[in-house]
Amino acid sequence: MTLLPTHREGPSRAGVRELADEELMGLVREGEMAAFEVIYDRHSRVAFSLAYRICGTRSSAEDVVQEAFLALWRSGARYDRTRGSVRTWVLGIVHNRAIDALRRNVVHDRRRASDDGIAERLEAPERTDAEVAQRDEAREIRVALQALPEEQSRVIELAYYGGFTHTEIAEMLNAPVGTIKGRMRLGLEKLRGALEGSGMVTAR
Amino acid sequence: MSGHPEHTARSDDAAAYVLGALDGAEAAEFGAHVRSCPICAAEVARLSSAVAVLPLAVTQLSAPTSLRRRVLKEAASDARDGQRTRMRALRSWPRFAQAGLSGAFALAAGILIGALLLAAGRGPSTVIRATVASAAAWHATAEPVAELERYGNRGQLIVTRLPAAPAGKVYELWIERDGVAHATNVLFEPTSSGAAAVDVPGDLNGASAVLVTAERVGGAKVPTMAPLIDAPLAA
Ligand SMILES: [Zn+2]
């Protein structure tokens, strides 16, 4: 499939907005700014929200999002569509970098920095249909997470949002490492099961 | 089920792995295991789909518009710099970067050298983009880039914008075969601008990846950390 028969001119701005993420990544690899812009607009909100949840400060969250999207721009070639959606890929980069930033910032007790509470003030109104759909999706996922036994959701949250290793979590909760890993697995299995019906998680 | 010989001890590691909760060395080791164990590979894929929804569960915030402007401006300035062309110049002659020559001159030199190489009949080469762990960017101002240029069974690793190794450490090059990193005894330091071109000694046939870690000066017998640079080789 040739996306860009005359790619020096580039596709029109409106046309680009119609393309799927995977097609846009092909253009990003060619250095097409308009395609990059659309990718940014589609995913920056959830990227920023995740980075903020992990880093706890607006400035680190901004740095993480900037680094992640520029990494995507500079190395779009690394994206492999057989391994998942563009959104999952971008959020994977954001997650790694946010955890790195968290660990680098030597806030060992991981107390939230002074601008805590900004979340409420920044909370986004949904403007587009896509954003409304995202909000509903988020609600469904939160319900599924809350439905997990507390000991399972706790270890998942500490690991994924808190950046703690299984050994650290075992120490914090005073439980054997094997137990912690087991809870992680059970929790993820249940989450998968709960969301499979809604098509958010693909059955394998 | 008796799949991989090492598999039995691993059943719960996949969950910790996909959540990023294994520490560096464990994660690298399990990652290598996954590549050779179809049972764990399937488990990782299955559990990853649950992890993929976790970012969507957080309170959704508006990303600041100032951030949007900054990101797009930065990306546009990259494009103007002709990033890719310049990198090609560095690849051909990393010393240009060291000498701090202007981008334009390095670019011209790159084209010239490219032509010379072509004339010298060095043969077809493939360029493999390596993964650079974000840990390698500890105090970098720009994203480090690493590529492996492969000519048949030989290869050269080219890095740009790689920060100096932490105090007391050097970069060490490894060849991965069957999931095990083998020492090449090649140690290197990038130039002050972060460039290096490192010949990979020996034969790349049958190798699965070329890796780089930071090790204490003098080098190590086995890697002591997860790879900072990972250039996968097609089987
Ligand atoms: Zn296994």
A69 or B170, higher pLDDT: A69
- Write out the two tokens for B235: 């089987």
Class of domain A128-204: mainly alpha
Cβ B169 vs Cβ B188: under 8 Å: no
Residue B89: its pLDDT value, please?
Answer: 36
Q: Residue A84: pLDDT above 80?
A: no
* Separation between Cα atoms, residue B143 and residue B137, nearest integer Å: 7
Q: Rounded to 5 degrees, what angle do the CA atoms B51, A168, A143 make?
A: 35
Domain spans in chain A, listed from the N-terminal domain onward: 1-99, 128-204
Predicted confidence (pLDDT) per residue in B55-104, tens digit: 988 888 888 999 999 999 999 887 766 544 434 333 333 333 333 333 33
Over residues B198-216, the mean pLDDT reads 87
**CA of B224: how far to CAs of A41, A99, B102, B168, B195, in Å?**
40, 21, 38, 14, 24
Banded model confidence at residue B184, pLDDT cuts 50, 70, 90? confident
Q: Phi-psi category of B123—alpha, beta or left, where left has phi over 0 and alpha has psi -120 to 50?
A: left
Query: Which residues are within 5 Å of ligand 1 (an ion), measured at CB?
Result: B 4, 7, 10, 37, 39-40
- Chain B residues closer than 8 Å to A187 by CB: 15
Residue B70: its pLDDT value, please?
Answer: 93
Q: Say which range, A2-11, B15-24, B100-109, has the weakest mean pLDDT.
A: B100-109
Nearest Cβ partner for A44 among B23, B58, B68? B68
Nearest Cβ partner for B70 among A31, A66, A138? A66
Residue B112: its pLDDT value, please?
Answer: 35
B49/A201 touch (CB, cutoff 8 Å), yes or no? yes
Over residues A32-46, the mean pLDDT reads 93
Second CATH level (architecture) for the domain B116-232: Sandwich (2.60)
Domain spans in chain B, listed from the N-terminal domain onward: 116-232
Residues 6+ apart with CB under 8 A from B156: B148, B149, B197, B198, B199, B200
CATH no. for A1-99: 1.10.1740.10
ipTM score assigned to the predicted complex: 0.81
For residue B230, what is the enclosing H or E element? Answer: strand B229-232
For residue B109, what is the enclosing H or E element? Answer: helix B103-119
Predicted confidence (pLDDT) per residue in A90-102, tens digit: 999 999 999 988 8
**What's the B45 CA to ligand 1 centre distance in angstroms?**
13
A188/B129 touch (CB, cutoff 8 Å), yes or no? no
Q: Rounded to 5 degrees, what angle do the CA atoms B122, B124, B125 make?
A: 100
